[in-house]
Amino acid sequence: MRLKKKKVELSILVPCYNEADNIEECIRRIPKMPWTTEIVVIDDGSNDGTAEVARKTKTKNVRVISYKPNHGKGYAIRTGINTAKGTFAIILDADMATQPEEIPIVVKPLFDGSADFANATRFIYPMEEGSMRPLHKPGNKAFAFLVSLIIKQHLTDSLCGFKAFKVKPFRGKLKENGWPDFELLIKAKRMSMKIVEVPINYRGRIAGVSKMKTFKHGYSMLKMLVRSLKRDF
């Protein structure tokens, strides 16, 4: 008699671009949890062997999706969502600035039924010194204010990549190829999903360099916010 495989309850989506120095540790640090999980590494056109390193990890239930060229984090998240087997998904950045060990804290509101969407916030607990550039703090708070006005719900952080949500409502609904944070939040609100914020600890990346360019990406994010607004309201 064949044993029936357990349904995946949580998909951990790890979008990455040139994170060969981080991806193995990132996967290793994902804790054991009381839910059936899968880890989906989405290699967004890396040229440093990120996908190969991920495939060689000894952790169970790791699936690697790799493609070229690089399309952007939003494209990678969309790819992960469309292939996720879990009822819920959480986005985990491979640089480990948001801690893999805190996944259970972020997804808890989903599993206890108190939320449909959990938005992690970096602005409640003290940040590790140097983890965020000085100009990024007011910039993040300004975007959080704008998104709060749009969705008519107070948020302290709209750009933290650590977000968890029900998978099915988002399948086939996302279009943004750049940072997907605004689109995820606005669409969640449009679909009447209950959004809660979860405080997390924020650290500096372990290895490699940040892909964030303050003024270039700040301007791009403002355009993304306008696009997301036009699509949904």
Confidence of residue 212 (pLDDT cuts 50, 70, 90): low
CATH number given to 10-232: 3.90.550.10
Q: How far apart are CA 40 and CA 84, in angstroms?
A: 8
Tell me: the pLDDT tens digits for 84-102? 999 999 999 999 999 999 9
Average pLDDT in the 103-121 region? 98
Residue 4 has what pLDDT? 64
Residue 128 has what pLDDT? 76
Q: Is the pLDDT of residue 25 over 90?
A: yes
φ, ψ for residue 64, nearest 5 deg: -115, 125
Q: How far apart are CA 151 and CA 186, in angstroms?
A: 6
Q: Is the pLDDT of residue 1 over 60?
A: no
Q: What is the CA radius of gyration of the chain?
A: 17
The answer to whether 93 and 15 have CB atoms below 8 angstroms apart is yes
The pairing of strands 117-121 and 62-67 is: unpaired
Find the helix or strand (DSSP H, E) in which 117 lies.
strand 117-121
The answer to whether 31 and 59 have CB atoms below 8 angstroms apart is no
Comparing 230 with 91, the larger pLDDT belongs to 91
Q: Is the pLDDT of residue 198 over 60?
A: yes
Tell me: the pLDDT tens digits for 178-191? 889 999 999 999 99
> Dihedral (C-alpha) 163, 200, 22, 49: value to the nearest 10 degrees?
10
Contacts of 229 (CB under 8 A, 6+ apart): 150, 186
- In SS3 terms, 152-172 reads as CCCCCCCCCCCEEEECHHHCC
179: which 2 tokens?
A: 């940072």
Residue 233 has what pLDDT? 44
Neighbours of 141 (CB within 10 A): 15
> What DSSP string describes 44-65?
ES-SSSHHHHHHT---TTEEEE
Q: How far apart are CA 10 and CA 8, in angstroms?
A: 6
Residue 197 has what pLDDT? 98
Find the helix or strand (DSSP H, E) in which 232 lies.
helix 214-232
Confidence of residue 26 (pLDDT cuts 50, 70, 90): very high
Q: How far apart are CA 40 and CA 51, in angstroms?
A: 11
Confidence of residue 174 (pLDDT cuts 50, 70, 90): very high
Q: How far apart are CA 10 and CA 99, in angstroms?
A: 17
Residue 136 has what pLDDT? 66
Percent of the chain exceeding pLDDT 90 equals 70
Residue 33 has what pLDDT? 96
